Structure 1
Amino acid sequence: MTGSEVPPSFRLAYVPGVTPAKWVRIWQERLPDIPLALVAVSAAEAPDVLRRGDADAGLVRLPVGGTDLSAIPLYAETTVVVVPKDHVVAAVDEVSAADLADEVVFHPLDDTLDWKGPPGRPAIERPATTADAIELVAAGVGLLVVPQSLARLHHRKDLTYRPLTDVPQSRVALSWPEDATTDLVEDFIGIVRGRTVNSTRGRRPAAPAQPKEKRPDKAGAPRKPAAKSGGKSPRPGSGGTKGGKRGKPRRRS
């Protein structure tokens, strides 16, 4: 390798709440010679990180905006409402958006849900981040609606959450620049789509088995088929079949 050559590597961006560990483990098993570097980014900055080429692909939240980024939806998350443990909502299994009509519900500036605003009454100011909104919920000022993974990420002993119905869900996708669909990106696409290492749709299909060549005999000539026999062969050393029947033994005089 010359000094100008750079060894191959793969940079994967991921947004808060997304856990790429399973896919990273499969990558390391299949491509142990190509290191995978994780790049933590906010949901808002993820598309620009991909456009700038600061990551080869990213686990992002939809929508990514624009037509220059390709995206493969992976899954949708349950939307939950985060409340203090002594709140009345904590006594039920799930809540509808209508149940929050009289509650103050925060709408942080880094909200990842694709809507104009959460249910309930808006707060006087929008918190800058989800982490700031969590602190306000813990102070008993209001509630917060987020994807379940973010509620787990910002877990506190004095807070809990419940599934919220009739609201949008956050969708997680694998995204990358459309004009930079490299072989390594194709490899990672195969991993997140669950393709096996020998999948015909993957970039590394298994090589077809080569037919075995017929071995010549010792003299180098092709082997002749064995002649068929019409009956049983005589036993070695027998001198052929015997012509008559054995007579009776003579009596001694």
Structure 2
Amino acid sequence: MTPAKWVRIWNERLPGVPLTLVQVPAAEAPGVLRAGEADAGFVRLPVDRTYFSAIPLYTETTVVVVPKDHLITAAEEVTLADLADEVLLHPLDDVFDWEAPPGEPAFERPATTPDAIELVAANIGLLVVPQSLARLYHRRDLTYRPVVDAPQSSIALSWPEEATTDLVEDFIGIVRGRTVNSTRGRTTARPAADARPGRSDRSGTQQNGKSAAKSSGKSSGKPAGRTSGARTGGRPAKPAKRGKPRRRS
């Protein structure tokens, strides 16, 4: 699934609680979460596990972005050795922690990944990035190929551990594919005849380390399911009365 699908499911289950996607640079994502500007986010690992909870989701394919008429486009995939003689751009916001950057170094490092994309289009050099960034900054005159032995970047759903609200739990359940009736996650309101006002809360998401989201508003009704920290309404049923034992004759 993609964040857009998760948002759609959220809107179906919690139509009274808006969920807003907020795009931020990958390096700024932890600070956005710490400041409370987003409630949860899709961030690039690693994160500070003494402060954040994190659920690893997937590992991205690493690609090299090249002009469409570059010789590399003749191959379906390449290796770092294939890039050894190429000028490779390493922007200051590079998400990879290279021990030894491959290729020939450029005259100077671009400030950002979008700046590096512009230089690729100008035939200044090539750029190695996670596939999501190649798609995000797609241009008609550029394409990309997988780099099979390059470092990879993993994505996780993360949020401040001390800020695990009911609505954050709801979003975690959606991302993990739980159904609306799952016993591990909260669900939407019961029918109107049984609904009661609920408390106001927030929840959110951050996409691929490049965007964040925030939701706010009031939810109504009692949660039908139970999960860690979730409240459920209603009283437990009373046990059936037992009759007196009969004496054997």
Name which of 79, 89, 95 aligns with 1:96. Answer: 79
Any idea what the Cα deviations from partners look like across 1:29-63, whole Å, max 9, x if unmatched? 11111111222111000001101111111111112
Q: Which residue of 1 aligns with 2:96?
A: 113
Q: 1:197 to 1:62 in 2, by over 3 A?
A: same
- Tell me how far apart the structure 2 counterparts of residues 177 and 44 of structure 1 sit (CA, whole Å): 16
Shift of 1:117: 5.2
Q: Looking at both structures, which has the greater relative contact order when contacts are Cα pairs under 8 Å and sequence separation is at least 6?
A: 2
| RMSD between superposed Cα atoms in Å | 2.1
Any idea what the Cα deviations from partners look like across 1:86-115, whole Å, max 9, x if unmatched? 211011100001111111111111112243
Name which of 139, 146, 155 aligns with 1:172. Answer: 155
Residues 118 and 145 of structure 1 are in contact (CA less than 8 Å); yes or no, is this contact kept in structure 2? no
Residues 106 and 118 of structure 1 are in contact (CA less than 8 Å); yes or no, is this contact kept in structure 2? no
**Which amino acid in the other structure matches residue 104 of structure 1?**
V
Is 2:127 the counterpart of 1:144? yes
Q: 1:117 to 1:25 in 2, by over 3 A?
A: farther
Q: TM-score, normalised by structure 1?
A: 0.71
**Which amino acid in the other structure matches residue 16 of structure 2?**
D
- Tell me how far apart the structure 1 counterparts of residues 53 and 104 of structure 2 sit (CA, whole Å): 37
Alignment coverage as a number of residue pairs = 193
Is 2:176 the counterpart of 1:193? yes
- Tell me how far apart the structure 2 counterparts of residues 203 and 39 of structure 1 sit (CA, whole Å): 24
Q: Which residue of 2 aligns with 1:79?
A: 62
Higher strand share: 2
**Which amino acid in the other structure matches residue 182 of structure 1?**
T
- Tell me how far apart the structure 2 counterparts of residues 160 and 73 of structure 1 sit (CA, whole Å): 28
Residues 114 and 170 of structure 1 are in contact (CA less than 8 Å); yes or no, is this contact kept in structure 2? no
Give the unaligned 5+ runs of structure 1: 1-17, 212-253
* Equivalences for residues 39-78 of structure 1 within 5 A: 39-65=22-48, 67-78=50-61
Shift of 1:75: 1.1
Any idea what the Cα deviations from partners look like across 1:112-168, whole Å, max 9, x if unmatched? 224345421221211011111011111111100011111111111221110001111
Q: Which residue of 2 aligns with 1:214?
A: none
- Tell me how far apart the structure 1 counterparts of residues 27 and 54 of structure 2 sit (CA, whole Å): 16
Shift of 1:65: 3.2
Residues 72 and 174 of structure 1 are in contact (CA less than 8 Å); yes or no, is this contact kept in structure 2? yes
Is 2:3 the counterpart of 1:20? yes
Q: Which residue of 2 aligns with 1:157?
A: 140
Q: 1:77 to 1:68 in 2, by over 3 A?
A: same
Q: Which residue of 2 aligns with 1:122?
A: 105
- Tell me how far apart the structure 2 counterparts of residues 115 and 71 of structure 1 sit (CA, whole Å): 24
Residues 107 and 117 of structure 1 are in contact (CA less than 8 Å); yes or no, is this contact kept in structure 2? no
Q: TM-score, normalised by structure 2?
A: 0.73
**Which amino acid in the other structure matches residue 106 of structure 1?**
L
Any idea what the Cα deviations from partners look like across 1:154-204, whole Å, max 9, x if unmatched? 111221110001111111111100111111111111000000011111123
Q: Which moved more, 1:51-60 or 1:118-127?
A: 118-127
Q: 1:24 to 1:114 in 2, by over 3 A?
A: farther
- Tell me how far apart the structure 1 counterparts of residues 22 and 132 of structure 2 sit (CA, whole Å): 18
SS of residue matched to 1:25? helix
SS of residue matched to 2:26? coil
Give the unaligned 5+ runs of structure 2: 188-223, 226-231, 238-249
- Tell me how far apart the structure 1 counterparts of residues 2 and 96 of structure 2 sit (CA, whole Å): 18
Percent identical = 75
